[in-house]
Structure 1
Amino acid sequence: MKSNYLRLFIGVLISAVFIWLALRGLHLPDVWAGLRSAEYAWLIPSIAVYFVAVWARTWRWDYLLRPMKRIPLRRLFPVVVIGYMGNNVYPFRAGELLRAFVLRQQEDVSMSSSLATIVVERVFDGLVMLLFVFVALPFAPLPSETIRLVVVIGSAVFLGALIVFFAVAAVPQRFLRLTEWFTARLVPARLRAPVLSFARRFIDGLAALRSGRGLLMIFLTSVVIWLLETVKYWFVMRAFDFNVSFFALMLMNGVVNLATTLPSAPGYIGTFDGPGIAVLSLYGVDPAVAAAYTLTLHAALWLPITLLGIYYMVRIQLRWADIGRAAAGGGLSEPEQNGAADEATPATDNKKVHA
């Protein structure tokens, strides 16, 4: 419990720093004027495009899960939406744990294995964000040393993670033996069996990386997802009195989403807004207009999927207590066989939900 409060405190502190950096020097009445003068009808196509991107995310996750279980997209889509709702209302991207938790309850898929696929998703997302930054460079050069530093660190982290995952997927038994060796020497006896069980299931979740065709499909789908999200940025921009190139929005998208990998308060407060305002300001957009745009964009990304996630949560009778348990990692303890859904709280009754 204390660790949960500590994590929340750290996230809130980081968000507060980003908010202070974002609002420093802004004339808030000008931001309010920008919000009042916006043409909010442009949010309708932006939200529609975003949900197309969420459907593409569902298809990508289905592709990663196929070595373990084929799940119809209409059943998988609500699980994805509930997970993104969890990211929006809990700190530290706890919605990823929630997504794995709900998938176990609904489809009897091991949490450890599904978490491996979710981590792979995040790695590919990070790599595509970096790709967007590098593609945009000839048309919208990086305007500050801080952003350059973020790109360099992000490149090292995501490329390093991808190399490790490729290696594990290529020779899973060798890495499992290595895990057993370290576990026997470093982990207390009572924890060895759960650690090894988690490792086996996590390695199983990387099976999709063993296929060249699978890798290509995952990468291309990731590019499509983030291009669609940049189109959303463009639609929201049309509601405001400024214009930057699509490449500048790609750069903003990349930098903002790299920043949201940092711990923050729920809903990426601050870590989304601060970098977004900073990037647009450095490209000549009035800071007050940039702030009004970024706040509107953030709301348009946060509110629709959060409301839909709550709707699906009610449909499957998922309680907030269940979400809190999943967000705290309480669902990670699984028996060796896939009957883990039997441990689920009775409130869900293992009911399937359809989109």
Structure 2
Amino acid sequence: MSAGKLFKLMLGVGLAVFFLWLVVRQISLADLKTAFAAADPVWIGVALVAFFVGYACRIERWLLMLQRDNPSLGWHHCAGPLMASVAANNVLPFRAGDLVRAFGFNRRLGIGASTAIVTLFAERLLDLLMVLLFLGGALACFGTDLTRLAGVGSAVPIAAAAGILGLLLSPRLFAAPARALARALTRVAPGPGQKIQAEIDKALTTLEHFSAGHTMPRLIAWSFLAWLAEGCVFWCAGLALPALSAPLGGWLALPVGTLATLIPSTPGYIGTFDYFTARAMTELGNPAAAATAYALLVHILLWLPATLAGGIYLILNPTRPSPEAETC
């Protein structure tokens, strides 16, 4: 392991421990146990159904991207590899699941590594768009802002989402200024600038590819349905815990907890996700112990089913690196 990767790993572990300490320092384990004991299994079951509906939408979205290169692909071809990559990200450091999806299943899917990589980039933009939209919507509906958490109000995520939406629908409008910025960076720092310019060219080409015809509106629609279903996971988890006074806060916890995963942490985002998810719930008046129990319950609902499903698929279908990976 390189020194850089070791530093990132230690930083992630340190931040995870720090945020876990923040989570548990002000709650009683007895209160936490009481909140869990009262959980309604019916609502937990509904949350699990919503979880799998959300991933079904994500699989359909990825299939729509891949069918441009391999029209013979079906939903069942893409389901296993996508869940396997999520499972790998949940248990391995450095987002190893992204490498699994980029190189591990290309022969099986009949696609090139470049296609798999650009779909990952498009997914990141689509997911960020949805998280920002849900954040802005939640802040507007609850009449609050995140000044105490992140220093922004509802207008900031909505404006950022509008910018991303414009980029997704009309990437050519952003091509000239983006490439001009890359050329300016190249003059200042030739090495990094050339790499950034290459990445910008690749990203713009990818977005132009997906924005042709009706593909991008369909990708946005599937992304919205996926995140709506995930929001239902957060909401139903709140309904499952009677100790929560405001279970609708799950619609705020969804984007806040998701954005917290951008902070360096351990695989599975232990600590960072839990702290900010609980904070979002307490901001809306929920008791601290119940909010903590809620954060842990949501984390389990999001982590365990995906890890089990993807892990089983990996065991039964070991990955075979593509030629591109073997030459890296």
Question: Are the equivalent residues in 2 in contact too, given 1:128–1:223 (CA < 8 A)?
Answer: yes
Give how far 1:310 is off: 0.9
Give how far 1:148 is off: 4.6
Q: Which residue of 1 aligns with 2:77?
A: 75
Give how far 1:32 is off: 1.9
Question: Are the equivalent residues in 2 in contact too, given 1:276–1:294 (CA < 8 A)?
Answer: yes
Measured at CA, do residues 271 and 229 of structure 1 come closer, stay the same or move farther in structure 2, by a change above 3 Å?
Answer: same
Question: Are the equivalent residues in 1 in contact too, given 2:268–2:303 (CA < 8 A)?
Answer: yes
Q: Deviations over 1:287-346 (max 9, x none)?
A: 10111111011111101110111111012123xxx8xxxxxxxx7xxxxxxxxx24667x
Question: Are the equivalent residues in 2 in contact too, given 1:92–1:264 (CA < 8 A)?
Answer: no
C-alpha separation in 1, matches of 2:157 and 2:9: 23
Structure 1 segments of 4 or more deviating over 4 A? Answer: 150-183, 194-204
AA in 2 matched with 1:110 = G
Question: Are the equivalent residues in 2 in contact too, given 1:126–1:154 (CA < 8 A)?
Answer: no
Q: Which residue of 2 aligns with 1:186?
A: 190
C-alpha separation in 1, matches of 2:196 and 2:106: 19
Give how far 1:200 is off: 7.4
Question: Are the equivalent residues in 1 in contact too, given 2:136–2:156 (CA < 8 A)?
Answer: no
Question: Are the equivalent residues in 2 in contact too, given 1:84–1:306 (CA < 8 A)?
Answer: yes
Measured at CA, do residues 8 and 105 of structure 1 come closer, stay the same or move farther in structure 2, by a change above 3 Å?
Answer: farther
Question: How many residue pairs were aligned?
Answer: 319
Q: Deviations over 1:87-125 (max 9, x none)?
A: 211234332222222232422423233222212212121
AA in 1 matched with 2:96 = A
AA in 2 matched with 1:225 = A
Question: Are the equivalent residues in 2 in contact too, given 1:84–1:309 (CA < 8 A)?
Answer: yes
C-alpha separation in 1, matches of 2:306 and 2:93: 16
Q: Deviations over 1:127-174 (max 9, x none)?
A: 211211222234312354133536677667766666666676679899
Counting aligned pairs with the same residue, the percent is 27
C-alpha separation in 1, matches of 2:37 and 2:323: 52
Q: Deviations over 1:255-280 (max 9, x none)?
A: 11111122211101112101111111
Q: Which residue of 1 aligns with 2:230?
A: 229
Question: Are the equivalent residues in 2 in contact too, given 1:64–1:208 (CA < 8 A)?
Answer: no
Give how far 1:216 is off: 1.5
Alignment pair present for 1:302 and 2:310 = no
C-alpha separation in 1, matches of 2:53 and 2:127: 16
Q: Which residue of 2 aligns with 1:36?
A: 37
Q: Which residue of 2 aligns with 1:254?
A: 255
Measured at CA, do residues 24 and 158 of structure 1 come closer, stay the same or move farther in structure 2, by a change above 3 Å?
Answer: farther
Measured at CA, do residues 36 and 235 of structure 1 come closer, stay the same or move farther in structure 2, by a change above 3 Å?
Answer: same
C-alpha separation in 1, matches of 2:196 and 2:113: 13
Measured at CA, do residues 103 and 29 of structure 1 come closer, stay the same or move farther in structure 2, by a change above 3 Å?
Answer: same
Q: Which residue of 1 aligns with 2:46?
A: 45
Alignment pair present for 1:101 and 2:103 = yes
Structure 2: unaligned runs, 5 residues or longer? none
TM-score normalized by the length of structure 1: 0.76
Q: Deviations over 1:225-271 (max 9, x none)?
A: 1111111122222221124264x322211111111122211101112
- Please identify, of 299-308 and 154-163, the stretch whose mean Cα deviation from structure 2 is larger: 154-163
Q: Which residue of 2 aligns with 1:137?
A: 139
- Please identify, of 272-281 and 24-33, the stretch whose mean Cα deviation from structure 2 is larger: 24-33
AA in 2 matched with 1:211 = A
SS of match in other structure, 1:262: coil
Q: Which residue of 1 aligns with 2:151?
A: 149
Give how far 1:177 is off: 11
AA in 1 matched with 2:264 = P
Question: Are the equivalent residues in 1 in contact too, given 2:133–2:161 (CA < 8 A)?
Answer: no
Question: Are the equivalent residues in 2 in contact too, given 1:208–1:214 (CA < 8 A)?
Answer: no
Alignment pair present for 1:115 and 2:117 = yes
AA in 1 matched with 2:238 = M
SS of match in other structure, 1:149: coil
SS of match in other structure, 2:265: coil
- Please identify, of 76-85 and 227-236, the stretch whose mean Cα deviation from structure 2 is larger: 227-236
Q: Deviations over 1:195-227 (max 9, x none)?
A: 999887666543443325222111121111111
Structure 1: unaligned runs, 5 residues or longer? 323-330, 332-340, 346-355
